[in-house]
Amino acid sequence: MPQARSTGDDVDIDMGALFASLGRNWRRIAAGTLLVTLAAFVLLSVISPRYRAETRILIEARESVFTKPAAEQGDGGPILDQEAIKSQVELIASPDNLRRVAGKLNLATSAELSAAIEPSALKRLMISVGIAKAPDADTRQDYIVQAMRDRLLVYSVQESRVVVVQFSSKSPQLAADIANAIADEYITMQQASKSDANADATGWLQPEIDDLSKRVREAEAKVAAYRSSSDLLIGQNNAVLATQQLSELSSELSRVKANRAAVEARAEGVRAALAKGAAPETLPDVIASPLIQRLRERQVQLNNDIADLSATLLSGHPRIRALRSQLADLNGQIRQEARKVLASLENEAETARLRDAELTRALNQLKAQASRAGEEEVELRALEREAAAQRQLLESYLTRYREASSRTDRGYTPADARIFSRADRPLEPYFPKVVPMTAATFIVSLLLLCIATLLHALFSGAALRPAPVSSGGTKVRPELQDHPAAALAPEPAVTAVAPPAAIAEPKPEPVDQPLNQPLPLPAVDHSNIADAASRLMESGAARAVVLSPEGDEASALTILLVRELADRGVKVVLIDMTGSGEIGRSMLDDASLPGITNLLVSEKHFSDVIHHDNYSEAEVIPLGDHDPMQAMQAAGRLPMILGALQSAYDLVIIDAGEASVAELKPLLAEGTEIVFSIVDPDHKVIGDMVADMHRAAMPDPILLAPFEAARLEARAGRIDVSAP
């Protein structure tokens, strides 16, 4: 809560006098600025210029597709991630690399880099008398390397494989030479590293190849000896001979069994036909006999002759009887030949049975041999696998050895990096930039001297003036001292006024009164601005409607309430619906700003009608400059507007001014608090308003009254209480 303080020492800042001090002291400011600028120019001019040269290296795979090892032919090349690039950066800036560069360029003779090595006069005296030792060669080289590291900057370009080597020196030629030498030494180091790796590989592979050759010979000898001892002869398709014979014999046995079954079936068919007395010449095996075929032809011929003669001769004719006798002999020969075919088939079937038995015995013998061969073949295959593995490893080692040996002999060791931008001799120094730095010194010194002059005028009191004081001793704005609400301030006090405790009105006893008599004020315990603010914060209400039946004088108390809530950290907005626009003039010093009437008719947006209070953190929506009667025709949009404001603010306060209870109802919603703002409890409109509220069964309002004068006095300086 704001507290009252002594009014005798209140002062304001005289902005005119404050900035007039700059005019009075312009000579001093100009002289100081020029002096500092001149000193900076002289200092920058005597500083030895430094030059910076840079070399750029691209990290990439330099191996050609024609020389790439066979094992890497399918790869797209080594992929270097950011960690690998950073590792190369550290390798370039390593002390060993710098030490080699220092030796090649003989940097020990450079006065710039060896300046730290030279002993002081006292140390030279101590060396001459033998108290101290002169730095040895290793120490001098370490100093040179440290001086190089101080002037060297190696970094990788972001999201690329480019490494930048920067070196700064007083000598432009030395800067370029060292930057290029560091990059060249890095490439040389990469090539030497690959060459050493190839030499190490050949040195390691040679004894391994010799050892593997012996093991391969031993493994293959074991395979041959085991195959010879186990009689595992290899047949076609790289199969063991016993297994191959077993397969062939099984196929032959199957064929013999099938042939035997077929012969037996044919013999049984002929035997059955002869037993039944059927014509044997109808059987396939009989008709297939050449003799049978000739006999059949003769039989057909005899039948034809008999048929021809029967047409002219009688059946008892000797010639016909002779032909029939020949036909009967021919039929007997056919049956006799059929029996011979049956005997042949039976002999063939017997032969097939004998062949089947023989093949079965041979098959059983081969099964035993194949079983033994299978067991021995398992061991043979193990020996062959071992020999094959040793042979493959030997071939792989031989391939690698030949590749490494050829690279070592030919000296082909491409580095995985290349210099694509060498350092040139820089023409201009990078430090100091005399003109830009002198200009910056001029501007900064001018600003600092101006600020120092303003602070001196402020703290010396030359830019301060006494603050205007109201009749009650409370500081208010001069143009607001004639407002009627200023009379609410207490009598002037000699010393500082302490914030008084809250004064609560006594709760009157309920009294039955006739309806035509004014009702008493509502019985509430909050009778001042601070307590009304506390009551609103404790209730958790999102909306509050203020009734000011006495007009603008009571609306001044609403402004006090809003500012009290803002001082307590509540995000609050006040909507002026009084009809006079006095709230806008009091809080914004302007009654013509757009406000709630413009928002109702959709003429303005929220950002155009919400303004900041000039004297607190509160925000206000004034009445606006649109026709109020036309704006009230769009009052149906008011609940939507209030809902939107409630979602953005902790509390929305609406000052309804002298609105009646009937006019108040559209502004009410669930959780809305009613605030009754009065200045004079005896005013004639108060009783009528309270009676209307009782008849409408409205809840008891929060009473807002200036009964605590000391608190009003403490805030009067921030409240516009001028008359409308």
Helices and strands in the chain: count of H runs, count of E runs: 22, 13
**Rounded average pLDDT over 351-360:** 82
Please report which helix (H) or strand (E) contains residue 79, including its range.
none
What own/partner pairs with CB < 8 Å and gap ≥ 24 does 44-47 have? 44/432, 44/434, 44/437, 44/438, 45/434, 47/431, 47/432
Helix axes 318-410, 241-276, angle to 10 degrees: 170
Confidence of residue 277 (pLDDT cuts 50, 70, 90): low
Which of 114-118, 298-302, 711-715 shows the lowest mean pLDDT across its residues?
711-715
Q: State the amino acid at position 40 in one-letter form.
A: A
Strands of 619-621's sheet, edge to edge?
A: 611-612, 619-621, 572-576, 651-657, 543-547, 672-677, 702-704
Per-residue model confidence (pLDDT) at position 132: 61
- In degrees and rounded to multiples of 5, residue 575 shows phi and psi of -110, 125
What end-to-end distance do the CA atoms of the chain give, in Å? Answer: 29
Collapsing DSSP states into helix, strand and coil, what is residue 137? helix
Greater confidence (422 vs 579) lies with 422
pTM: 0.44
Per-residue model confidence (pLDDT) at position 503: 25
**Rounded average pLDDT over 432-443:** 91
Q: Which residues of 45-62 are buried (b: 16+ CB within 10 A; e: fewer)?
A: eeeeebbbbbbbbebbbb
Collapsing DSSP states into helix, strand and coil, what is residue 435? helix
Residue 422 has pLDDT above 80, yes or no: yes
Task: Assess contact for 416 and 255: CB atoms under 8 A.
Answer: no
Q: What whole-number distance in Å separates Cα of residue 390 and Cα of residue 377?
A: 20
- Tens digits of per-residue pLDDT, 38-83? 999 999 888 889 999 999 999 887 776 556 665 555 555 555 678 8
List all residues 6 or more positions away from 721 whose beta carbon is below 8 Å from its beta carbon. 480, 483, 484, 485, 486, 553, 556, 586
- Quote the mean pLDDT of the chain: 76
Q: For strands 619-621 and 572-576, give the pairing.
A: parallel
Q: State the amino acid at position 578 in one-letter form.
A: T
Per-residue model confidence (pLDDT) at position 45: 87
Q: Can you give the length of the chain in residues? A: 724
CA distances from 606 to 300, 641, 685 (A): 128, 9, 35
Residue 478 has pLDDT above 50, yes or no: no
Domain spans of the chain?
A: 11-47+432-466, 51-202+416-421, 237-410, 478-718
- Tens digits of per-residue pLDDT, 643-670? 889 888 999 999 888 777 777 777 888 8
DSSP string, 266-281: HHHHHHHHHHHT--GG
Residue 483 has pLDDT above 70, yes or no: no
Share of the chain above pLDDT 70, in %: 75
Q: What whole-number distance in Å separates Cα of residue 377 and Cα of residue 321?
A: 81
Q: Residue 624 gets which letter from DSSP? A: -
Confidence of residue 485 (pLDDT cuts 50, 70, 90): very low
Residue 718 has pLDDT above 50, yes or no: no
**Rounded average pLDDT over 212-217:** 89
User: 602: phi > 0 → left, psi -120 to 50 → alpha, else beta; which?
Assistant: left
Greater confidence (428 vs 292) lies with 428
Which of 335-349, 447-461, 609-623 shows the lowest mean pLDDT across its residues?
335-349
Greater confidence (680 vs 546) lies with 546
Residue 481 has pLDDT above 80, yes or no: no
- Among 2.40.50.100, 3.40.50.300, 3.10.580.10, 3.40.630.30, name the CATH number for the domain at 478-718: 3.40.50.300
Confidence of residue 487 (pLDDT cuts 50, 70, 90): very low
Task: Assess contact for 592 and 581: CB atoms under 8 A.
Answer: no
Q: Which residues of 466-485 are buried (b: 16+ CB within 10 A; e: fewer)?
A: eeebbebbbbbbeebeebeb
Which of 25-39, 529-543, 693-707 shows the lowest mean pLDDT across its residues?
693-707
Confidence of residue 93 (pLDDT cuts 50, 70, 90): very high
Q: For strands 162-169 and 152-156, give the pairing.
A: antiparallel
Per-residue model confidence (pLDDT) at position 79: 55
Per-residue model confidence (pLDDT) at position 692: 74
- Tens digits of per-residue pLDDT, 674-691? 888 887 766 666 767 777
